[in-house]
Chain A
Amino acid sequence: MKKLLAMSAALAIAATGFVGVSSAQAAGTTLTYGVIADVTNWEASHGEHGNRAPLYQAAYDELLYQQPNGTIVPNLALSATYNKAQTVLTLQLRKGVKFSNGEAFTSAAVVKNLLAYKNGDGVGASLASSVKSVKAKGPLTVVITLSDVDPAFVQNLTGPMGMQQAPKTIGTAAAKSTPVGAGPYVMDTANSVPGSSYVFKSNPTYWNKKARHYGTVIFKVITDNTAAVNALKSGQVDCINLMDFSSIPSLTAAGIKIETQQLDWSGITLVDKAGRMGSPLKDVRIRQAINYALDRNALLQIRANGNGVPTSQVFASYSKGYDKSLNNYYPYDLAKAKQLMKDAGYEKGFTVSMPMVSALGATIWTAIKDQLGAIGITVDYSDVPFNNYFTSILTPKFPLYWMQLERNSNDWAFLKFLLVRDAIWNPSGYGTAQSDALINTIQHSSGAVQVKALKALNKYVVQQAWFAPFFASDMKFAHKSSVKVKLQGGNAVPYLFNISPA
């Protein structure tokens, strides 16, 4: 008996998620996409999310596709079905697809790609760590066995882990600089200048021509914000992610449109919740007092010039666990903060050590010190070299730290990153019976049950003040009015198919 994930029903339907233009309409058009990060290795096993995602998407199609609103639809795979235990995933592949070098897209290609991703040295290789085995069962069926239930796995197939490279090119030196996939475009190496611009022409054998909005895509690598602004204003690029927001007034005056999304969160992680370092943070009232003592609007101005949204939660608005009502769970209230300190027996306050990086400027550290000082918490900073900041946090050497951390549209990946006991950014390995139970439910459920558990976990984490978030910081994508843009929830830039002629 097979247990279907809620999304499998949608996945079994032929791809209906793409709204594109006819090949004829797209043929003569060119999109010049400014990118702020160059590709370091074009192999699919080195594919990345974030700013580099559209470059890889030009050459490689993924097994599944995630639309801007988060819905997962079929792509090179027509369906993804779990067994009852959710440890064996069967993919049915699309028939008749060819790679741009003429090779056929088959189950053998998927097996080779997934193993190359898992065993390679790409930044995302650990995403495939739950893969125990992957086998071809017939020419268009792949069976993936997982070592444990991995709720992130199917969504990961919409990203670099699902990208399909022509099998004969996997592991070759040429593939590092020239991608060969079954994607919408083929790199025009004669007209590309590595490190500067990559020209992609339409792949004549592409199976999904309707989804393609442009005949040619040119990626221009621009790592300096002033250069990016000049490129936009001079018309050399149609769109680009902004690294600095001070130029926005001049851009909007020039008719450039700006799309905004909150990606990362900035705030304090309260590490010593178990009290093993001897700090008072073991008491939830102290942690809540810290939250009430924060003037989030002021911190947003100081750190990000107002470019963000104050918040008390770490879950992002595009997460299923997000609860808008938690944004202002801890309003700025010094009286309440002091009362909590008094109730916890720390009316006179205490001293706590915290790492600081002076290279990041003094204002944020001063603000934290002042705001916690207002309720009697004296922050004793240790100036740590920038290179050692991560090490000092993750060891862990300090009971709390300030950091700007990414969030993820893949909820399980986000939990594994920040909240589970062995999460990379849960350095003290903290958890409670309640959080463990909720995380276990999230891991082994789906649909409405999973969403309910995610929201419950979010609320629990906020109520127990595991963190003292300041704000969710803005990401801003600038584009000419001649292009239409849909942001991709949780990604720094829109996916390639999210940009179309206006």
Chain B
Amino acid sequence: MLKFIARRLGTGAVLLFAVCTLAYFLLYLGSNTIARSILGVQATKADIARFNHMHGLDKSFLESYWGWFTHAVRFDFGSPWTFAQPVTEIVRMRLGTTLILVTSSLTIAAIVSVILGVTAALRGGWIDRIVQFLGLLGFAIPNFLVAFALVIVFAVQHKVFNAVGWTPPGTDFGEFVKSAALPIGALAFTSLASITQQIRGAVRDSLQNDYVRTLRTRGLSYNRVVFKHVLRNAAGPALSILGLQFVGMLGGIVIIEQIFAIPGLGSFGVLATSQKDIPAVMGLVTVTAIIVIVVNLVIDLLSAALNPKVRLA
């Protein structure tokens, strides 16, 4: 187990280095226009030269990257050019916001998916058909359309929840619920489809296995067989899909954060990229890559814990 973790972390470090180097190189390629973009059309040549010198944009790629890298390994991503706080502080604040949205959505989606997926697999019939139809809707409708619909009905027409903005849970829980309900609802709805279908399929497959018949002939109740054995065997694929959904949401949450004007990692990425703020973009790229590597590792470990047959290769 420890060997597996060490090997995965080592591979992750190599991957992280490759991602950061490539990202920095791509950003550096367009760096001759950054000053003009940030300072605006009224900037003089002297303004641009001063900006470039102040932020090291007049250095070579290697010199510039080395300067960033030697600080980044200590998790010092420096001061961004277009934000008030240091990069680490911005990422910390916004990561918290995004993680609240993502984990809340996935938790709700997972709970509802288990209920729907298991029910559909066990009962079959019209219940199964309804669940499959809902799944189809979830696949077909993009999350931003769901978001628009929720905003129009629950914020604009009925003013139950907020259309825009974000209140952290610690500041005012009531306002937090009003600001988070619709974006979480939009994210959860579209995740439901794939998780439900996966659980439904995995449970149905598990039910076909011989051990289920054996356990039933031994006198175990149907519910005990399903909830203690079948679900455990079906959990592996469900966990994998949850992991994929988590990673997918980190990227896909950009649109949701824009629609609801939420200061999360996604909207930070949009701003940092459009403003060509290299320190900000690199901080975001690094943190996101680390999250993806860690999440994948955790999913693998959980899968192995649930199902000893899974070998940690």
Contacts and interface: CB of A to CB of B under 8 A. Distances in A.
Contacts, number: 121
A417 interface: yes
A194 B93 contact: yes
A47 to B, nearest CB: 13
A257 interface: no
Contacts of B155: 230, 234
Contacts of B262: 196
A234 B83 CA distance: 29
Interface string B21-65: 000000000101100101111111111001100100000000000
Interface residues of B, number: 48
A406 interface: yes
Contacts of B30: 387
Contacts of B242: none
Given A41-B84, A42-B84, A390-B33, A121 B50 contact: yes
Contacts of B46: 126, 129
B163 A231 contact: yes
Contact of A191 (B84, B94, B148, B171): B171
A404 to B, nearest CB: 9
A483 interface: no
Interface stretch (B9-17, B215-223, B253-261, B294-302): B253-261
Given A195-B268, A231-B164, A406 B84 contact: no
A425 B261 CA distance: 35
A391 B93 CA distance: 36
B287 interface: no
Interface string B257-277: 011111100011011000000
B179 to A, nearest CB: 9
B161 to A, nearest CB: 9
A196 B163 contact: no
A227 B259 contact: yes
B274 to A, nearest CB: 9
Contacts of A417: 42
Contacts of A424: 41-45
A249 to B, nearest CB: 15
Nearest to A230: B163
- Central interface residue in A38, A231, A388, A425, by most chain B CB within 10 Å: A231
B107 interface: no
Nearest to B30: A387
Contact of A224 (B47, B152, B259): B259
Contacts of A111: none
A220 B164 contact: yes
Contact of B165 (A38, A194, A236, A391): A236
A437 interface: no
Contacts of A406: 41-42
B261 A125 contact: no
A305 interface: no
B261 A231 contact: yes
Interface in A180-228: 190-191, 193-197, 220-224, 226-228
Nearest to B79: A176
B167 interface: yes
Contacts of B43: 123, 126, 424
Contacts of B198: none
A39 interface: yes
A195 B54 contact: no
A341 B263 CA distance: 56
Given A40-B82, A234-B159, A226 B259 contact: yes
B104 to A, nearest CB: 18
A40 B163 contact: no
Contacts of A177: 84-85
A390 B83 CA distance: 24
A233 interface: yes
Contacts of A190: 171
Nearest to A191: B171
Contact of A227 (B32, B54, B261): B261
Contacts of B270: 223
B56 to A, nearest CB: 13
A102 interface: no
7 contacts: A193-B167, A195-B90, A230-B155, A231-B164, A231-B261, A406-B42, A417-B42
9 tightest A-B CB contacts, nearest first: A195-B263, A230-B163, A234-B163, A196-B263, A222-B261, A224-B258, A387-B33, A231-B164, A177-B84
Interface of B: 30, 32-33, 36, 38-47, 50-51, 54, 82-85, 90, 93-94, 148, 151-152, 155-156, 159, 162-168, 171, 258-263, 267-268, 270-271
